[in-house]
Amino acid sequence: MKRVFAFFIFLVSMVSLVLPPLNAYSEEKTDSTAAPAESRLAMAYLCSSDSVILTATLSIKKGESTLALENASIEFTVSTGADSKFLGKAMTNQEGIAVCSFPYTGLPAGTDGMISYTARFTGSDKYPGAESSFHAKPAKIRLSFSIEDSLRILKVTATQKNEKGEEVAIPGETVLIYVPRLFSLLKIGEIALDAKGSGTLEFPKAIVGDTLGNLVVMAKIEEHDKFGFVLGKNTINWGVHKQYYKAEVPSRELWTPIAPLWMIITLLIMLAGVWAHYMYAVYELVMIKRLSKKDKPLF
Amino acid sequence: MEEELNKNQKNSRRQFIKKGLIAGAGVAVGSGLIAAYVDSTAAETGEKVKVLTTGGEIMEVDRGLLKLPRVSREESHKGIPGRKFVMVIDLGKCKNARKCVQACQKGHHLPKSQEFMKVYLLQDSEKTAPYWFPKPCFHCDNPLCVSVCPVGATFKRSDGIVLIDNERCIGCKFCMTGCPYSTRVFAWKHYPEFDVDKEPYSPEASSPGKEGTVSKCDFCPDLIRVGKIPYCASACPMGVIYFGDVDEDTVTNGTETFQFSQLIHDRAGYRYLETLGTRPCVYYLPPVDRQFEVDRGFGDLDENIKERYKDTPYSKKNKP
Amino acid sequence: MELQQKNPLKEFAPQLERTSIQGYAWILFLLMVIGVGVYAFLQQVIHGHEVTGMRDNVVWGVYIVNFIFFMGVSYAGALISGTLHLFKTAWRKPIIRMAEFITIIALLIGPCFILLCIGRLDKLHYLVIFGRIQSPITWDVIAISTDIFGCFIFLYLSLLRDLATLRDYELLQLPNWRKKIYKALALGYTGTPEQQERLNRATDIMAAMVIAIAIIVYSVLAWIFSVTLQPGWHSTIFGPYFVIAAVYSGSAVLILCMWVFRKVYHLEEYITKKHFVSVGVIMLVLAAFFGYFTFSDYLTKWYGSEKNDELLIQLLFKKFYWPFIISNYVGVLLPLLVVGIAKFRTITNITLTSIVVVIALWLNRYIIVVPTLESPYLPIQDSRPEWLNYSATWVEWSLTATGVAVFCLLFTLASKFINIVPVTGLQKEEKKEDILV
């Protein structure tokens, strides 16, 4: 549950980034009430290994400015031809985003395998409703690794669900191979699938993994008329072991919080030398004062 | 009608695919520290986000300050574990569009007179070609500014970022003379922008430095913590600025991602004024195969910005 | 014993007892200058450092120039008084106290100028709490405070005999509180052989210390500049160069002080041409050294022609032409000619030369600080004129004047508190001709 929640949060924040630019909204009430409001709903679809994720972004256009609509209820439905199934409701966040995710296995099968997804904002007393839909055929990509003749081989296999709900090969498509990085995906190759829906790639050598050399490898079909966006991933320890930056190691440099040892020693020697002499001079002054007391009876 | 529908569908598909791509990246990366991927539009949306409530009220939300996590002062002195950040700037693509400067100023709530990112018009010698030179802080590995700071107000973290703690800074400006790249700026007076930030202070937060203290480019550690690249990198329409983790050997400008070592090798990357021995963490790709003429950089600049370059050898030479 | 011989204090008593109308007018004038300075300072506190001419490129301006200048004058006093003491120079007696006063007063004013340059005075204590040993500013904080301590001890040691004399001089017409101060400060010194021996030993040690510290402290000041990579600053010669320039400026200030006090307190009997010529000769030697260091510094930069050094030298010979010529040509050659040639060697000439030297040395610091900051590695590309070129504002000039005024005021007050010419062991100048005179 926690994981699902975390996933949700992250997805929300992700999609928030692809919002259209929000221009400054006019403060004047007259402006905002005069122009008729127009609701806009955009939907994103992702078919990942065992689930489908739908993300709807709701914005209101008034005149020149566009604003996200918060706390609006978005209804998601899935349909195959005449059959229609209500998936659920989600509320938009501050950035107007609502997310719905459900397992791959629960999907109905359409006549040609195509499924259509719909997100709907029913509208409120102030804003009109809006709807957005999308059609795609569920698909899957699997990755496997092997070593042949001391070469590292990555193999991908792509399947789709046919009308009967069976998984059959996707032939002839192009699969892009990525390694996820801190900020983005690093592309490491492309595989053209054969008739059996699979293909191979010699895995490049100099890819940095984690400290143990572990790498997440992702295979994706992108921008496909039938399958939309499909993602598969797997982990392998073929990466170069990551060497952490040595900044934590030097502790006594000119720029570190603690000074080099000999700098401190030099300073202490100089200070000790000078202040010892000061002390001596002050001591002499104290002695002069003492002598006067001793001498006083003489006068 | 059907054709219209198809077209719409196609469009929406294109859109979804783009988003899906990004979402996919997030799916894979989205564990631990990193939560999201950045799109170039994110920076342009800027700091003020206005939100409509269903009741029709407009709420103004400060995205930059509200949405980004803020670590404690203590934590911000340490750095993001296991990372070492690097920037690569492709001089061949820069046309002085100044989107990096604007996004940075907006993101950091800077007054107009303070620029963390500056764009210079350089010409190394009389007969060599002039080029635009965006210059952030180089976050040197041997940072003289840090060495000379008397109170440890500027410090180098484990992730390589050189940061300033404005609560600690006494404003002696020694770091400003220590930096050979004129990177640091001083708050000569109190700017109204300084009042924007009401949250407890953190050196990592993209809030402006206080009056009488020094500030500079910080590689946007608050953005990095949520998996975004700095404002300048994501705002550049040309994708000039690449950012990444050098230990991971990857840099990205938001749309393209390269292996850092490969990029530096193939494009003969270099560091500015290497001879000074400061060991910068910002690399430049030489201005070859230009996409734009240098003059394009003068395009639609404000008059006062244009004024800046009037004394450069290039501008003087081209004077009628 | 030594106190009972005769009391030369009689001659100096009037300057301690009475202040003339001109004296009061002078003090009032100084207070007015200081008043304007206080107003200027308030402007800076209220409106921020924007009221100065400093901007992001030239971050250090006239304040730092004044800081170096006053510290230089101070160290010079220490070096001259220390050296003269150690070498037991016979003619030092009438002028040594002035040198000591110069030291301590300039040392109190100098650091105030660096405070003016600091953006957050409310966080000044961080220098102690969070001090980093690698920073030359930390060295400076340690060195200057050590120096202030040392100079106070040295001054006190050399004042002790006179304080005892003042305590014991019954004819002195002074309010009781002042007599009490003299009594307390005199530490019961009565000049017994053991007291004398201890006093001499302590003074000798402190004289040596003061010299050593002065050299170190002024080098530290130079290192603030030379540890950076800035063209024109990043120079190994800067330490000794600054020390020499400091002593040089200090010798000139000493001559000025001698002239002023000679006139005001009618000390013609004690401070004679011989003193002027002797200090003048010291100034001549230092001028030669100063010229030599300046020459070596710029010569190597000129021949090396590193791009940014070359730009700097171009700037010095164009925009800073007159300051450069005055500080590095006139300021070097004039003392050589005036003191070097017997015919020109008069009190007035030497004093006038000193004025030129003081101005030249101030300009010298200016053309060390400002042109370098105006020609950084990356060319300054800015449309705001005040960002391109530094020019000090009235606030900075006013506070500079305040520094000079405070110097004069403290000197005046000090000369009212204790005789400016030490009376102990002082003999009237014998009319014995020197080779130089």
Residue C117 lies in a domain: yes
Same domain, A92 and A131: yes
As a residue count, chain A comes to 299
Q: Which amino acid is at A5?
A: F
- Cα–Cα distances (Å) from C193 to A295, C3, C189, C197, C263, in that order, read 12, 13, 11, 6, 37
3-state secondary structure (DSSP) of residue B110: coil
**Is residue A290 one of the residues assigned to a domain?**
yes
**In angstroms, rounded to a whole number, what is the distance separating the alpha carbons of residues A234 and A172?**
22
- Asked, for residue A249, whether it belongs to a domain, the answer is no
Closest in C126, C230, C378 to B177, CB measured: C230
Per-residue pLDDT, A295: 52
Sites in chain A below the pLDDT cut of 50: 1-33, 247, 297-299
**A145 and A131 share one domain:** no
Residue A244 confidence (pLDDT):
67
Cβ neighbours around A72 below 10 Å, total: 26
| Token duo for residue C259 | 């002239």
d(CA C405, CA C410): 8
Give residue-wise pLDDT tens across range C100-155: 999 999 999 999 999 999 999 999 999 999 999 999 999 999 999 999 999 999 99
C-alpha neighbours within 13 Å on the C-beta side of residue B171 = 25
Q: What is the pLDDT, as a whole number, of residue C12?
A: 77
- pLDDT above 90 for C396: yes
Q: Are residues A232 and A285 in the same domain?
A: no
CB atoms inside a 10 Å sphere around CB A149: 5
Q: Looking at residue A33, which CATH number applies to its domain?
A: 2.60.40.2550
Q: What is the pLDDT of residue A37?
A: 77
Do A169 and A191 lie in one domain? The reply is yes
Q: Which CATH architecture has domain B34-51+59-317?
A: 2-Layer Sandwich (3.30)
* Most B-contacting residue of C54, C383, C388, C389 (CB-CB within 10 A), to test interface: C383
Residue finishing a domain among A136, A170, A198: A136
Contact criterion met (CB below 8 Å) for B141 and A254: no
CB contact under 8 A, B248 and A181: yes
> Which two structure tokens, joined as six digits, stand for C24?
């009061």
CA distance B312 to B25: 44
Candidates C132, C230, C379; nearest CB to B151: C132
A residues 131-160 closer than 8 Å to C (CB)? none
Q: Where are the alpha helices (DSSP H) in chain B?
A: 2-29, 40-45, 63-67, 73-76, 99-107, 144-148, 174-178, 221-225, 231-235, 260-266, 303-308, 313-317
A241 lies in some domain: no
* CB proximity A284 to C under 8 Å: yes
The answer to whether A179 touches A215, Cβ cutoff 8 Å, is: yes
C8 located within any domain: no
Residue by residue, pLDDT tens for chain B (320 residues) are 444 444 444 444 443 333 333 333 333 333 222 222 222 222 333 345 555 555 555 555 444 334 577 888 888 888 888 889 999 999 999 999 999 999 999 888 888 888 999 999 999 988 899 999 999 999 999 999 999 999 999 999 988 999 999 999 999 999 999 999 999 999 999 888 777 667 788 898 877 778 899 999 999 999 999 888 999 999 999 999 999 999 889 999 989 999 999 999 999 999 999 999 999 999 999 999 898 888 888 888 888 888 889 888 888 888 75
Give the number of other Cβ atoms within 10 Å of residue B50's Cβ.
19
A194 and A119 assigned to the same domain: no
Specify if C433 maps to a domain.
no
Q: Could you tell me how many residues make up chain C?
A: 437
Given a cut of 80, whether residue C69 has pLDDT beyond it is: yes
What CA–CA distance (Å, rounded) separates A207 from B257?
Answer: 13
Q: How far is A278 from chain B (nearest CA, A)?
A: 26
The per-residue b/e assignment along C314-331, b for 16 or more CB within 10 angstroms, e otherwise, is ebbeebbeebbebbbebb
Instruction: Provide the β-strand partners of residue A103.
Output: A51
In order of B75, B76, B211, B219, C413, the CA distances from B201 in angstroms are 12, 11, 14, 18, 48
Which residue segment(s) compose the domain that C84 sits in? 22-375+395-417
Neighbours of C412 (CB within 10 A): 17
Binary contact (B186, C126; C-beta < 8 A): no
In this complex, the chains that touch C, judged by 3 or more CB pairs closer than 8 A, are A, B
Read off the amino acid at residue A179: V
**E runs forming strands in chain B:** 48-52, 58-62, 85-90, 118-122, 131-135, 154-156, 162-164, 185-186, 214-215, 241-245, 250-252, 257-259, 282-285
Contact with chain B for residue A35, Cβ under 8 A: no
Q: Minimal Cα–Cα distance from A257 to chain C, Å? A: 7
Chain A residues whose CB is inside 8 A of the C208 CB are: 277
Q: Considering the domain boundaries, does residue A208 fall inside one?
A: yes
Interface contact A218, partner B, CB < 8 A? yes
| Tokens coding C327 | 């500080």
Q: Please tell me the predicted confidence (pLDDT) of residue B57.
A: 54
Both A8 and A102 in one domain: the answer is: yes
Report CB contact under 8 Å: B27, A46: yes
Q: Where is the domain boundary, A104, A136, A168? A: A136
Nearest to A285 among C149, C187, C192 (CB): C187
The C-alpha of C148 sits at a distance from chain B's nearest C-alpha, in angstroms, of: 20
Cα C328 from Cα C363, distance rounded (Å): 9
pLDDT of residue A32: 44
| pTM metric for this prediction | 0.83
pLDDT in tens, C299-317: 988 888 788 888 899 999 9
Cβ atoms within 10 Å, residue A276? 10
Record the tokens describing residue C17, joined without a space: 């007892």
Neighbours of C126 (CB within 10 A): 18
As a whole number of angstroms, the distance between CA C320 and CA B92 comes to 38
A180 vs B25: CB contact, 8 Å cut-off?
Answer: yes
User: Is position A191 within any domain?
Assistant: yes
Domain boundary assignment for chain B: 34-51+59-317
Neighbours of B306 (CB within 10 A): 15
Q: Of the candidates A75, A109, A136, which is a domain's last residue?
A: A136
User: What token pair was written down for A94?
Assistant: 């501050």
CB atoms within 10 A of CB A195: 8
Written as six digits, the tokens of C432 are: 């014995």
Pairing of strands A73-80, A115-121: antiparallel
Kindly calculate the radius of gyration of chain C based on its CA atoms and give it in whole angstroms. Answer: 23
Query: What chain A residue is nearest to B19 in terms of C-alpha separation?
Result: A44
CB-CB under 8 Å, B257 with A184? yes
Instruction: Round to the nearest angstrom and report the end-to-end CA distance of chain B.
Output: 58
Candidates B165, B250, B256: best to mutate against A (most CBs of A within 10 A) is: B250
Using DSSP, state whether C374 is helix, strand or coil.
helix
The domain of A163 spans 139-236
* Per-residue confidence (pLDDT) for residue A13, from 0 to 100: 47
The enclosing domain of A172 has a CATH number of 2.60.40.730
Q: Which residue has the higher pLDDT, C188 or B117?
A: B117
Q: Residue C405 above 90 pLDDT? A: yes
Q: How many other CB atoms are there within 10 angstroms of residue B126's CB atom?
A: 7
d(CA B178, CA B180): 6
One domain, residues A38 and A162? no
Q: How far apart are CA C397 and CA C63, in angstroms?
A: 9
List the single residue in A32, A53, A70 with the smallest CB-CB distance to B51. Answer: A70
Same domain assignment for residues A127 and A169: no
Q: In CATH, what number is assigned to the domain containing residue C273?
A: 1.20.1630.10
Nearest to C298 by CA among C371, C227, C355: C371
Can you tell me which residue has the tokens 């905002």?
A32
Closest by Cα among C227, C213, C204, C248 to C365:
C248
Q: What is the CA radius of gyration of chain B?
A: 21
Buried b (16+ CB within 10 A) or exposed e, C363-397: bbbbbbbbbbbbbbbbbbbbbeebbbebebbebbe
Residue type for position B9? Q
Other beta carbons less than 10 A from residue C255's beta carbon:
27
- Give chain C positions within 8 Å (CB) of A293: 188
Angstrom CA distances, B284 to B92, B117, B224, B234, stand at: 10, 15, 21, 17
C383/B215: higher pLDDT: B215
The residues in C 296-315 lying below 8 A from A, measured between CB atoms, are none
Residue B109 · residue B266 · CB < 8 Å: no
Residues A103 and A224 in one domain: no
Q: What ipTM describes this predicted complex?
A: 0.89
Tokens of B6: 């198809």
Per-residue b/e over C163-198, b at no fewer than 16 CB within 10 Å? bbbbbbbeebeeeeeeeebbeebbbbbbbbeebbeb
- What pLDDT shows up at residue B33? 26
Nearest residue on chain B to C49, alpha-carbon basis: B188
- C347 phi and psi angles, rounded to 5 deg: -60, -45
Residue in A14, A28, A134 to test binding to B, most B beta-carbons within 10 Å: A14
Q: C190 is written with which tokens?
A: 């009565």
State the pLDDT at residue B29.
33
Query: How many domains, in total, are found in chain C?
Result: 1
Chain C contact for B239 (CB, 8 A cutoff): no
Which residues on adjacent β-strands are paired with residue A52?
A: A47, A102
- Count how many domains chain A has: 3
CB contact under 8 A, A242 and B247: yes
Least confident window among A134-148, C370-384, C389-403 = A134-148
